[in-house]
Structure 1
Amino acid sequence: MSELPFYLAAFVVVLGVLIVVHEYGHYAVARLCGVKVLRFSIGFGRVLWQKRLGRDQTEWAVSIFPLGGYVKMLDEREGEVLPEEAHRAFNRQSVGKRSLIVVAGPLANFALAILLYWAVFMLGSEELMPILGTPPAGTPAAMASISNGEQVRAVDGQPVSTWNDLRWLLLQKAVEQESTELEVVNERNEIAVRRLYLAAAGEQGWEGDALERLGIGFYRPNLPAVLGKVVAGGPGERAGLQVGDHVLAVDGRPIAAWHELVLIIRDATERSLHLELERQGQALAVDVIPEGHPERGRLVGKIGVAVADDGQFRREVRTFVRYGFFEAGGKALKETWDKSAFSLVMMGKMLTGEVSLKNLSGPVTIADYAGQSAKLGFDYYIKFMALVSISLGVLNLLPIPVLDGGHLLYHMIEVVRRRPLTERAMGIAQQVGVSILFVLMAFAFFNDLNRLFFG
């Protein structure tokens, strides 16, 4: 609960920026096309704050329900329009201009994503190297003979330099094909090619971690379970743990390495663990209860301790990645395009039933990820904002009435029919669109609650 204000603040900033950018896209292009804008609102419902600005006295407002926004334009279908202003009404514009105004919102979201990625790639960030851990027995990675410490150099010939690059490429390949080839190098500088079969990634409707089902996990060094840090006021300190303690066993289970201790603690939220220790040559035991912390849609246990490490391991598994101006721009464009296309493919698979509706996420999950990314660092947070901006752009282009894509669909029908749809037809379509959105939001909110309470 102590982290709730931080998570909410991170969520509000992401949501606020994306809504403002999206609606400003509509607003700016409407003004360029000569359309009069009556109101620019962040949120829906009762107005909390408003101010009129500019030659047209546009009303800028913040409303009580913040999950969205809108730009209200002069329109003869929605109210009386003075004869001298009729030429500035939205409905009087050509189909081309109206379509441009409608598509400007999603395009603004894509443009924001490109700029955010561009900035992050130019500034550079510290990334995990694509070093693989020992895969669980029976998984595709185990059958591919992947072993602990192998570093991936390429996926189907495409160079890989970071863990995020590897993860993203494997997800794309898993959607497109049955298998892929990983070029790896081990700790003895021996190069090998591992053929990884990808069908398991899509099992259970792509629900959960697809790479985990493939057996792909990060490298786990055999560091001893010696405490190098104990957080003041945390569960570990309250239980009596001290820096230098060597954990030998948990609930009678011997602990050979730090990562074994981490896995046990993560799965023991709010459950007492009996730790057998060695402290300055003496044996002793303590009981500690891990606290639950939200992570990737579920609660994981933590006791507020860190491994004793002189920094050598961190230096060995991390690399600083930075790109020049033009290279960063090209990579930002590709990243935005690839993620947009991937989102569309996954949405299509939802319609065919290949992808579970449990993958839909609502505001609770987004807030959780916003907080997690903000805690990891500024670059992670900016990348997360770019990803959500892409998702918002893609979602709004879907041909569902009430969304921007639905209005574009009306315009396409108008071009074919050579006359607009009747108000009755559009009214029925709007009701259908609202119903579809309500069902999708209900699924997303249910999934949020399910992840929050059941993991």
Structure 2
Amino acid sequence: MNNIPFYLAAFLVVLGVLIVVHEFGHYLAARLCGVKVLRFSVGFGRMLWKKQLGKDQTEWAISIFPLGGYVKMLDEREGKVAEEEVHRAFNRQGVGKRSIIVAAGPLANFALAILIYWAVFMHGSEELLPVLGTPPVGTPAAMAVIGNGEQVRTVDGQPVATWNDLRWMLLQKAVDHESVALEVINEREEIAVRHLYLAAAGEQGWEGDALERLGIRFYRPDLPAVIGKVVANGVADRVGLLPGDRILSIAGKDVASWYELVAIIRDSATKSIHLEVERQGQIVAVDLVPEAVSERGQTVGKIGVAVADGPKPHREVRTFISYGVFEAAGKALEETWDKSIFSLVMMGKMLTGEVSWRNLSGPVTIADYAGQSARLGLDYYLKFMALVSISLGVLNLLPIPVLDGGHLLYHAIEVVMRRPLSERAMEIGQQVGMSILFALMAFAFFNDLTRLFNG
């Protein structure tokens, strides 16, 4: 519950920035094309605040319903226009100018994403290296004989620099490819090629973690379940666990590594569990109840212990990566383009049934991701903002009446027919578009509630 105000604030900042940028794209294009702007509103419905500014006395407003915004332009279809201002009405402009004004909103979202990526890539950040962990038995990664500590060098010949790069490349490949070749290097500097089959990634309609289904996990050093430190007055301290204790089993299940121990305890919040502990050659029985702790919006169990150092140094898994001005610009363009195309491909697969509609996210899920990324750091938060900006740009270009793409479709028809669509045809289109949009919003919100209550 303590996370709600923080997550809500993170969400509202993202939402506010993206709406302002989108609508400012329309506004700026309208001004450059000589069209008079009557109102610039962040949000819909009843206005909470407004102020008139500039030579045209444009009304700048904040309205009560925050999921969107609009730019109202002078238009003879919406009211009487003074004779001396008719030339500044939107409907009097040529189809080219009208299309520029309509397209400027989504283009502004793409431009924002490029700018964010450019700044983040130039500033640089500490990234995880693409070092793989031991895959679960029976997964495609296990069948590919991927070993713990192997670092991926290339995916189908394409160089891989970071763990995020690896995740993104595998997701892209999994959409249309049956398998990929991973060139890996182990801790002994031995190079090998692992052939990873990708069909498992989409087995559940792409719902959940596709890479987990492939068995792709980040590297974890082989650490025994030996306690190195006990937090004073914590659960472990109160039941008498000591530094040097080796956990042999929990609830009758043998524990082979520290990560197995952590996984079981995290899933056992407020539940009584029985441990068998080896202490100086003796077996000691301990019963305890892990404390429930909120972590990134989830409730997990903790007992207040830390792992003992392993017998050997572990391989490096982090690196700092930054780019020069021009290299960062190129990478920002590439990142924006790749994610835009991926969004379109996934939307297409939703329409064909290859991808589940349960992947559609609404404001609750987006707010959750906004809060999680903000907690991880500014660079993660900015990258999240860029991703949502791309999604907003792609969504608005879909040829659905009401959206910008729908208006561009009208303009394309006008060019072909050499005359505008009739008012009646556009009115029907608007009604159909609103129905589609409300259905999508309702479905996304239903998915949000399902995730919220079912996990």
TM-score bracket relative to the smaller structure: over 0.9
> For the Cα contact (< 8 Å) 1:274–1:288, is it kept in 2?
no
Inter-CA distance 180–394: structure 2 relative to 1 (3 Å threshold): same
Question: Once the two structures are superposed, what CA deviation does each residue of 1:176-215 show, in whole Å capped at 9, x if it has no partner?
Answer: 2111100001111110001111111111111111111111
Structure 1 segment 82-121 matched on structure 2, within 5 A: 82-121=82-121
Structure 1 residue 114 displacement after superposition: 0.5
Q: Which position in structure 1 is the counterpart of 2:292?
A: 290
- Name the amino acid aligned to 2:398: L
For 2:126 and 2:380, how far apart are their aligned partners in 1?
10
Structure 1 residue 276 displacement after superposition: 5.5
Structure 1 residue 273 displacement after superposition: 4.1
Inter-CA distance 27–142: structure 2 relative to 1 (3 Å threshold): same
- Name the amino acid aligned to 1:201: A
Structure 1 residue 221 displacement after superposition: 1.3
Inter-CA distance 415–230: structure 2 relative to 1 (3 Å threshold): farther
> For the Cα contact (< 8 Å) 2:364–2:448, is it kept in 1?
yes
Q: Which position in structure 1 is the counterpart of 2:339?
A: 339
- Unaligned ranges ≥5, structure 2: none
Inter-CA distance 149–394: structure 2 relative to 1 (3 Å threshold): same
Q: Which position in structure 2 is the counterpart of 1:393?
A: 393
> For the Cα contact (< 8 Å) 1:228–1:305, is it kept in 2?
no
| SS across alignment from 1:316 | coil
Inter-CA distance 279–87: structure 2 relative to 1 (3 Å threshold): farther
Structure 1 residue 258 displacement after superposition: 2.2
Inter-CA distance 246–162: structure 2 relative to 1 (3 Å threshold): farther
For 1:323 and 1:189, how far apart are their aligned partners in 2?
27
- Name the amino acid aligned to 2:292: P
Q: Which position in structure 2 is the counterpart of 1:380?
A: 380
Q: Which position in structure 2 is the counterpart of 1:202?
A: 202
Q: Which position in structure 2 is the counterpart of 1:22?
A: 22
Inter-CA distance 276–116: structure 2 relative to 1 (3 Å threshold): farther
Question: Once the two structures are superposed, what CA deviation does each residue of 1:55-97 show, in whole Å capped at 9, x if it has no partner?
Answer: 1111111111111111111111111111111111111111000
- Name the amino acid aligned to 1:447: N
For 1:385 and 1:304, how far apart are their aligned partners in 2?
36
> For the Cα contact (< 8 Å) 1:144–1:195, is it kept in 2?
yes
| SS across alignment from 1:145 | coil
Structure 1 residue 377 displacement after superposition: 0.9
> For the Cα contact (< 8 Å) 1:29–1:101, is it kept in 2?
yes
For 1:349 and 1:307, how far apart are their aligned partners in 2?
45
Q: Which position in structure 2 is the counterpart of 1:180?
A: 180
Q: Which position in structure 1 is the counterpart of 2:76?
A: 76
| SS across alignment from 2:42 | strand
Structure 1 residue 267 displacement after superposition: 3.1
For 2:370 and 2:338, how far apart are their aligned partners in 1?
22
Inter-CA distance 247–44: structure 2 relative to 1 (3 Å threshold): farther
**Residue 301 in structure 1 maps to residue 303 in structure 2:** no
How much identity, in percent, do the aligned residues show? Answer: 74
- Name the amino acid aligned to 1:170: L
Question: Once the two structures are superposed, what CA deviation does each residue of 1:131-157 show, in whole Å capped at 9, x if it has no partner?
Answer: 111111221111111111111000011
Q: Which position in structure 2 is the counterpart of 1:411?
A: 411
Structure 1 residue 280 displacement after superposition: 9.9
- Name the amino acid aligned to 2:129: M
- Name the amino acid aligned to 1:253: K
For 1:243 and 1:379, how far apart are their aligned partners in 2?
39
Inter-CA distance 360–271: structure 2 relative to 1 (3 Å threshold): farther
How high is the TM-score relative to the length of structure 2? 0.92
Q: Which position in structure 2 is the counterpart of 1:9?
A: 9
> For the Cα contact (< 8 Å) 1:230–1:306, is it kept in 2?
yes
- Name the amino acid aligned to 1:366: I
For 1:231 and 1:405, how far apart are their aligned partners in 2?
58
- Unaligned ranges ≥5, structure 1: none
| SS across alignment from 1:204 | coil
Structure 1 segment 118-267 matched on structure 2, within 5 A: 118-225=118-225, 236=235, 244=243, 246=245, 248=247, 249-267=249-267
Structure 1 residue 165 displacement after superposition: 0.4
> For the Cα contact (< 8 Å) 2:272–2:287, is it kept in 1?
no
Inter-CA distance 37–213: structure 2 relative to 1 (3 Å threshold): same
Inter-CA distance 167–126: structure 2 relative to 1 (3 Å threshold): same
- Name the amino acid aligned to 2:365: T
> For the Cα contact (< 8 Å) 2:131–2:151, is it kept in 1?
yes
Structure 1 residue 230 displacement after superposition: 7.6
Structure 1 residue 372 displacement after superposition: 0.7
- Name the amino acid aligned to 2:60: W
Inter-CA distance 47–251: structure 2 relative to 1 (3 Å threshold): same
For 2:301 and 2:175, how far apart are their aligned partners in 1?
34
For 2:320 and 2:151, how far apart are their aligned partners in 1?
16
For 2:390 and 2:242, how far apart are their aligned partners in 1?
44
Structure 1 residue 335 displacement after superposition: 0.3
Structure 1 residue 300 displacement after superposition: 5.2
Inter-CA distance 313–306: structure 2 relative to 1 (3 Å threshold): farther
For 2:106 and 2:405, how far apart are their aligned partners in 1?
9
For 2:59 and 2:308, how far apart are their aligned partners in 1?
57
What is the number of residues matched between the two proteins? 451
> For the Cα contact (< 8 Å) 1:275–1:287, is it kept in 2?
no
Structure 1 residue 163 displacement after superposition: 0.4
Question: Once the two structures are superposed, what CA deviation does each residue of 1:223-260 show, in whole Å capped at 9, x if it has no partner?
Answer: 24456678899x85897788947561433434332211
> For the Cα contact (< 8 Å) 2:239–2:287, is it kept in 1?
no
> For the Cα contact (< 8 Å) 2:270–2:290, is it kept in 1?
no
> For the Cα contact (< 8 Å) 2:184–2:194, is it kept in 1?
yes
- Name the amino acid aligned to 1:153: R
Answer with 173-182 or 403-412: which moved more.
173-182
CA RMSD of aligned residues (A): 2.5
Inter-CA distance 225–10: structure 2 relative to 1 (3 Å threshold): farther
Inter-CA distance 302–29: structure 2 relative to 1 (3 Å threshold): farther
